[in-house]
Each structure stands twice: as C-alpha cells, then as structure tokens.
Structure 1
Amino acid sequence: MNDHRAVVVGGGLAGVTAALELAGAGLDVTLLEGRPRLGGLAFSFKRGDLTVDNGQHVYMRCCTAYRWFLDRIGGTALAPLQDRLDVPVLDVAHPQGPRLGRLRRAALPVPLHLAGSLARYPHLSLAERAAVGRAALALRRLDPADPALDGVDFATWLGRHGQSARTVEALWDLVGIATLNATAGHCSLGLAAMVFKTGLLSEPGAADIGWARVPLGDLHDTLARKALDAAGVRTAVRTRVTGISRTPDGDWQVGTEGESLTAGTVVLAVPQREAHGLLPHGALDDRDKLLDIGTAPILNVHVVYDRKVLRQPFFAALGSPVQWVFDRTDASGLTDGGQYLALSQSAAQADIDEPVQVLRRKYLPELERLLPAARGAKVRDFFVTRERTATFAPTPGVGRLRPAARTDAPGLYLAGSWTATGWPATMESAVRSGLGAAHAALAVLGRPRENRLQEAA
C-alpha cells in the first residue's frame, strides 16, 4: 500500500489547498492540472500590455478559510480588506434623478452595526427600511443547516416577511446576486440564510470586503506554485487525467496521457461533471446526482477609457443592467493616464451568449448614465470574458445533491466549491472543500494535522 503517497487532480483553489494540507502532514503529493496554470476559474491572462483577470473576485472578512489560504501562500498583503464595510450604491432610475447611497457599518455590536446605514439608505422608503430590520431579525433565527430550508426559495421567504419587490431589488438581490450568483427567486433559502447570517449578522466586521490589488494569477498561480514547491509538492500542469482505477494491491492508479501514478489517497478537485466522468463505479451511492447540480454563468465586461471616469474603487448600481463596477487600472498595469473598469455581471443568463457588439451597445451607454465623466471619454478597448459554468446554481434542493468529501471508495475524496461545504460557490467554499478532503484523508490515515480552521469555524 502507498499510504504515504497522494495525488490531487485539479489545480484550482480546492486542489491547491488539499495538496498543501496533505503535504504539510508528511505525504508525498503530486498535483495534476490540465490547464497550463493554477487557479481554476480565478485566473489572469495578458491582453496586449494589460494583465486581465477573467472576472472580479472578492471575499469578506468572514471568509476565514480563504484568508488562511492567502496567508499560507504569502498573499495577504496583496488582497487587503476594507477597514470597514463601505459599499457605494448608485440608483440612476430614481424619480428625482441619480441618487447615491451607501451600505456601511459602524463600530457597534450586531445588529446595531448596520442600523444607522439602513436608516439613511435612500433607495428604500421608511416603511421598507423598517421591514428590512424585522426580516433581518427573523433571518438571524434561522439555522442554515436545517434541511427544510434547502427546499424553499429565498424570494418566497422574503415575501412572507414583508419585503417589497423594491426592497428585494435594492438590498437583498444587490448582495445576493453577487454572492450567490442567483436572484432570490432562484436561490435556496438555506444558502441565502448562510450568506446573510454569516456575512451581515454574525460579527460587526464580517462583511468587510477584500479583493486583490494585483492580478489574480499573481496569487493563485505564481504564489501558489511557490508554496507548493516549498511544501515539496510535485506540480504538473498541462496534464490531463484520463482515468482512475484500483490496483490489485488496493491502491489507486491515476492515468494521464503521459504517465500512470499510484497512490493510496486521491483527491478529485475538479468540477462536478468532470468528477462524474472520473469517479469509478461504486464510489458514490448515486453518482448521477452530480449531473443534477446545475451551473450558472458570470459575464465580465471590460472597458478601457482614455481618462479617469471613476474616482472610487468600486460601486454597485440600481436601475441599470450594470451590477458592480470595479477600477482595475493599477492591478492591470495600465500607467498611461487611462482607466480600466471591469463590470461584474452575475446571474448573466440573458447576456452570456450575446455578441460583443451587442454588449457594447448595451453597456457603454449605461456607464455614461452612471458616470457623467465617461460621456466625453474615448473608449480605447472593450472586450468581455465569459464563464458559462462559473458556479453551481444555488437552486432550491441543491443541498441534497452536494456530496461530502469522503466517497464510498476508501482513499478517494472529493473537493470543489460544489461539494457539501454549506457555502455557495465562492473562493471560501473552494478552500474549505480542499481542507475538508485533506482532513478526511488524514483522519483515515491516522496522520496529525496542523490546520484547525474548520473546527474553529
């Protein structure tokens, strides 16, 4: 038996995490990734002189696993958190003209930390703001792990608790679409409760936002590789796994197009459909359930102007198809006085397959509505990046489809944001899944582990 050897299939955040954790416990680990880089769906690429992230990725202070990951690879200082939650929200469809509001927290205990901001939030009426407070208190009493919540959609629950259509648009979906990649009507109450209860109603600073001030590839590829090398992990990119099978000795044989590896432990850290294709017969009670986990797209619109048109690092929009806008000028390496904005469009089913010219005609006028300074600016470049299967779809009932880390096949484990972490498809969920898979394996092997993060969480 090769109990001292492990193979991790997949070099996204889940796979890198699992490999680091297994290597830290003394295993001989090989990480296999089919792409020419690490990082999964949180990566960067070159476009001329620009370094472009495929999409805008953020995290919150409550994302303790991803924060551990950043610290583990030496990237914490490159993706800092806000001192305090502060989200500018611009409504361009207000009857009295464009109106700017802010969602920010005070240095007060929960739930008073958001009370002042909510009281002044101009995008809701006084009655709607009061109703939000009552719904938040009711939400705080929910247990996100209750299986009954998984079968109810969030919109139904909000309606039962007095939330108007305007309140859903201007508050609940403003946050929920970005974190869950679905509108309230298409989202499990269990996952929504998890996001809002953990992010907004657990600790005063839980929702403080962080994001990379450098290209994502600097973190999830370059620094991750250095950490893997230092841990003694052998990393092979451009290496596609073709099959996984048992050897006569009871080990696992992982076949690739160039070699075959034997190990006592295998972690499959790949998307659910790829995992379905690689899992051997009998590894899960009902392997086909993985195919029932839907996917949801995210579209990112990239615009480079010849001058500065936005003076804040980011903002969210109402009354517009634009959702969130981020200034990526410094991170991209643009230094000639122009400005590079990235529009992050979640739950983008309506736009994901539209031609670039159609999207240009749709989004450039909207940016001019939102940003008066853009009306006289020249557009140097306009392009889009599309992730058609960016996340698993958090639809009601998805919880019963998400598998645990441990399979029915001894020594074979699953990781990925789509597994049963309790979180939606986020970087946090991916890292938690990698830790969960590694810890399940180490428990079976009787190996001690140093990371106690999940127990603390």
Structure 2
Amino acid sequence: MESNNKRNDSLQRPTVIIIGGGWAGLTAATEATLAGYQVTLFEAAPQWGGRARACEFNGITVDNGQHLFMGAYHHCFEMMKKIGLKVEDFFESQPFDITIIGDEVLQLKASRNLTAPWHLFVGGLFAKGLSFSEKNAFYRLIKQLKRPSEDCPADIWLLSLGQTESLIERFWSPLCLGALTTPVSNASAFLLYEVLHQVFFTQARNSDWYFPTQTLDRIFPLPAVKWLATKGAHLHLKSRVSKILLKENKAIGVEIGGQSFHADYVILATAPRAAKKIFETSDLDSLALMIDQIKSEPISTLYLQFPPTATIGQPMLGFSDPILQWVFDRGITHGTPGLLAVVTSSFDAIGEIGTAEFSQAIVSRLTAYFPYLGSNQPITKWIRDRHGAISATPGCQEYRPRNRTYVPGLWLAGDYCHTPYPSTIEGAMMSGQQCIKSIKKMRNSVQQGVITLEI
C-alpha cells in the first residue's frame, strides 16, 4: 500500500533535475514548477545567470557581456510576467532607431504610426545617408522578402533580393553581425530571414529596442531564483554535475562529488562545451559527437570608464568598422555616467596584439569619432568569450539538437538548441520552455497509451 502511494505521488508530482542555472535552466525550472513538478536545480558557478550574469568593474556591477533586447523577445517577457515582474520596470523601450557610423553616417528611424513592414519602409525612405539606389534596394527587400529556397550565405541571398553591395556593407552587414554574431558573408540566410521576418514583418512593436536599465541578473535570474525558492524548488550553487546516471539506458539522475541524486527527468541546460564533458563522462559518446558539430563564434565586450561627463549621446551606436561594431552608453541606460560598453568580434586580433594595445586602438577610434570624450585614458575591463555564440553558418540548423534526446528521460536546453533564432537570450528561454512542453506532451501521451516521437 505504501509503495502504491509513492507511485501515485510520483505520478502527481514528477521530479526534475536541471543542470545549469542560466536563463535556459531557470526558464525550464520555472515552467516545471508551474506545471507542478518538484524541481532540483544545480549550478556549478557561485552565481546564477550563466553567461549572461553580473560581474564587478571599477566598483560597480556590470554584465558579463553586453546584451540587447527587442520587442520580439516574447518568451523572455512572458517568463518575467509569470514570476510577477513588470517588463517596464527593467527596460526602456523605443521604436527602432539605428545609427551606423562609417565613411558616412547612416541613420534610419522606423515610423511610429504604420504597421509592419511599412513602418520600416518609411524609415528607409527618409533615412539619412542612403543614396536613391540604396533606398530603392531597401524598398525591393521590403516588398519581396521571402524565405530563401536554400540556406546559402546571407550576403548572396541579400544580393538576390536586389540589395546593393554598398547597402549590404553599410547596413545589413552590421545588423547581421549584431543579430547572428556571424559575418554576413558566412551567415545563414535561413536564420537571417527568420530574424528579419520576426522582427520587422510581423508586428511593428517587435522591432522596438528594449534597453535594459538594470544588470541582467536582476532582470530574470535573481527574481526567478527567489520565486522558485518560495515554491519549494531545491536550488544549489557551486554544485558541478560530473555525470548523468543511467539505468537500462534511461536517465535517472545525476552524480555530484560521488553523491547520487535521482529524478524522473533530467534537463541539461549548460553551454555546449560543458554539456559535451558531461556526455563524455556519462558514456554518451554519440551526444558528445553531436555537440562537436556545433561551431562557435567569439564575443568580446570592452568596458570603458571615461569621466562622468563623457557620452555618445544615445543608448547605442553601430559602426561599420573592422574592430568596432557596437557601442552602448550605460550612462544613459543604467545610470552609470561615463561608462561605455564596446562590442567587438575581433577575438583573434585581440589575442595577436594584446588586450592593452587593442583597447588603445578602440579608444583611438572612439575619440576620433567623438573628440569630446577627452584625451584621458579610460579605465578598462575586457569580457572575452571564445565560444560566446553558435556559428550561425549555412546548414547550422541541421546540427542544432532538439530538446528531447534519444536517451529516455534526458532533455537539452540552451541557446544552441534548435529554435528559429540564433544564440540569444530569447532563444535560450524559448528552449527552456520547449523542454517542459515536450515533457508534458510525452507524459500525456504515456497516460493515454500513445507513444510519440519528436523528430
């Protein structure tokens, strides 16, 4: 009788172990808790947030790399609301307005009064710094955007849509690099199409910028942890999972420091390289080989603390520059005067000449564009991640794993998993949600006596 009661309790309250306390793992934990599951969450680091976490610089808290949100981040905003947060308390939103500095300054502001995609077309029509032929090319893309027939390099696809080489170089290339973290000449046309379609062609508000006004850990990770604790979830920092426990080829739990923890389901929500190590120690070689097929792109953020009066005059600027892609003014967005965050993809060049020399090259570029920043050398801090995002190259979607693995009881979550998006916080959170939806669907099918396969 006692055994039957335990089985009934298990059916009523399934147990889930989640490995990784980043945005994907915390999303999965939140959704599982809302579904009535008992959640245990293990994070190897001493803090929550994964790669989008907080760190210290010059006596203030900053992000472990600069991130940008958009109105299309529906899964992110939905999760915030589910734990009782108000999106407007953490972001300053504004209609799409982008300035890209190169040999000439290009400025495009989307119309506030039109539906998508015509809000963008009018913005292109009245854009500053675009020639007549470039504006005409812009109109052709707005009029005929459709999913490419094959996944070719994004610049080839853009040329097929009538985009001029100058417009690709000055506008689409910086936008592609910012969205996909992959140069337009190497980027997946499929993924760029998905981003453009979702952001610019569905709802006008999807293209709005959402500038964080607080550090990323305060936007979701820390509130989620607090919410999960009130719901009875078991939360563990500094707890590195060494292997996934298997019984008759089914995932039944994890091992940490020689101690076993069991659950009905295991969700692995770490970065790909950490996942690969766990697969290898768990004798899941085919999953480790699958991870090996996923290539990565580096991301580097350079924080520059100028005197408090220094500013670029707006929250963000783009640059058509080989070493300088995006600059964010955190004095405007976060209330930390004089603090700029520079995003660059020139990881190898940094390694070749050294961080000090590369910092000086960036400062020289900035002060050339903005002499009023002053001649004083700013205080600097580099945040470098060689494997910051998946390489969004043609065909990459074929290698991105689905959430449900071939191992019964084992799911994957993370921005590298298969979603319509490149490596973004939105994609990570969508992946976490998909895991719990998949588990719920599987449980319902089992209870109804139906076996489902997710391909």
The two structures share one fold, judged by TM-score above 0.5:
yes
Q: CA 1:175 to 1:415, structure 2 compared with 1: closer, same or farther past 3 Å?
A: same
Where does residue 366 of structure 1 map in the other structure? 365
Please tell me the residue identity of whatever aligns with 1:84.
Answer: P
Measured against aligned partners, the alpha-carbon deviations of 1:60-110 in whole angstroms (never above 9, x if no partner) come to 11111011122234252343252422223333x23xxxx452333331122
Task: Indicate whether 1:395 and 2:396 are aligned.
Answer: no
Counting only pairs closer than 5 Å after superposition, residues 411-430 of structure 1 correspond to structure 2 as 411-430=409-428
Q: CA deviation at 1:446?
A: 2.8
Contact 2:106 2:127 in 1 (8 A): no
Q: Tell me how far apart the structure 2 counterparts of residues 113 and 283 of structure 1 sit (CA, whole Å).
A: 49
Secondary structure of the 2:420 match is: coil
Partner of 1:79: 90
Q: How far apart are the structure 2 equivalents of 1:404 and 1:12?
A: 18
Aligned to 2:3: none
Query: CA deviation digits over 1:324-367, x for unaligned, max 9?
Result: 11111366664xxx511111224645436652211122101111
TM-score, length-scaled by structure 1? 0.88
Pairing of 1:259-270 with structure 2 (within 5 A) = 259-270=259-270
Q: Relative to structure 2, which stretch is displaced further, 8-17 or 223-232?
A: 223-232
- CA distance in structure 1 between the aligned counterparts of 2:401 and 2:260, rounded to whole angstroms: 27
- What is the aligned partner in structure 2 of residue 210 from structure 1? 210
- After TM superposition, give the deviation of residue 168 of structure 1 in Å: 1.0
Q: How does 1:54-65 map to 2 (within 5 A)?
A: 54-65=64-75
Residue identity matched to 2:233: V
Give the distance between the partners of 1:115 and 1:261, measured in 2 at CA: 55
- Corresponding residue for 2:107? 101
Amino acid at match of 1:300: T
Q: What secondary structure does 2:150 align onto?
A: helix
Aligned alpha-carbon RMSD (Å): 2.5
Confirm or deny: 8 A CA contact 1:9 1:33 kept in the other structure.
Answer: yes
User: How far is 1:287 from its partner?
Assistant: 4.7
> CA separation of 1:105/1:354 partners in 2, compared to 1, >3 Å: closer, same or farther?
farther
What fraction of aligned residue pairs are identical, expressed as a percent?
Answer: 25
Following the alignment from structure 2 to structure 1, what is the Cα–Cα distance between the partners of residues 302 and 231? 37
Cα distance, 1:319–1:33 mapped onto 2, change above 3 Å = closer
What one-letter code is carried by the residue in structure 1 that aligns with 2:218?
D
How many residues align? The count is: 433
Q: Are 2:329 and 2:341, in contact at CA under 8 Å, matched by a contact in 1? A: yes
Segment of structure 1 superposing worse, 103-112 or 205-214:
103-112
Q: CA 1:248 to 1:298, structure 2 compared with 1: closer, same or farther past 3 Å?
A: closer
Q: How does 1:199-348 map to 2 (within 5 A)?
A: 199-247=199-247, 252-257=252-257, 259-279=259-279, 287-306=288-307, 307-319=309-321, 321-329=323-331, 334=336, 338-346=337-345, 348=347
Q: Which has the higher contact order (CA 8 A, sep 6+)?
A: 1
- Once the two structures are superposed, what CA deviation does each residue of 1:157-210 show, in whole Å capped at 9, x if it has no partner? 122233232211221112111110011111111101001111112211211011
The equivalent residue for 1:35 is 45
Q: Which one-letter code corresponds to 1:38 in the other structure?
A: W
Q: 2:235 corresponds to which letter in structure 1?
A: T
Q: Do structure 1's residue 405 and structure 2's residue 406 form an aligned pair?
A: no
Shift of 1:125: 1.5
Instruction: Give the whole-Å Cα distance in 1 for the aligned partners of 2:134 and 2:250.
Output: 62
- Do the aligned residues in 2 keep the contact of 1:244 with 1:253 (CA within 8 Å)? yes
Separation of aligned partners in 2, 1:5 and 1:16: 15
Q: Which moved more, 1:325-334 or 1:194-203?
A: 325-334
Once the two structures are TM-superposed, the CA of residue 34 in structure 1 deviates from its matched residue by 0.5
What SS does the aligned partner of 1:142 have? coil
Cα distance between partner residues in 2 of 1:30 and 1:347: 39
| Counterpart code for 1:142 | R
Q: Is the 8 A contact 1:283 1:408 kept in 2?
A: no
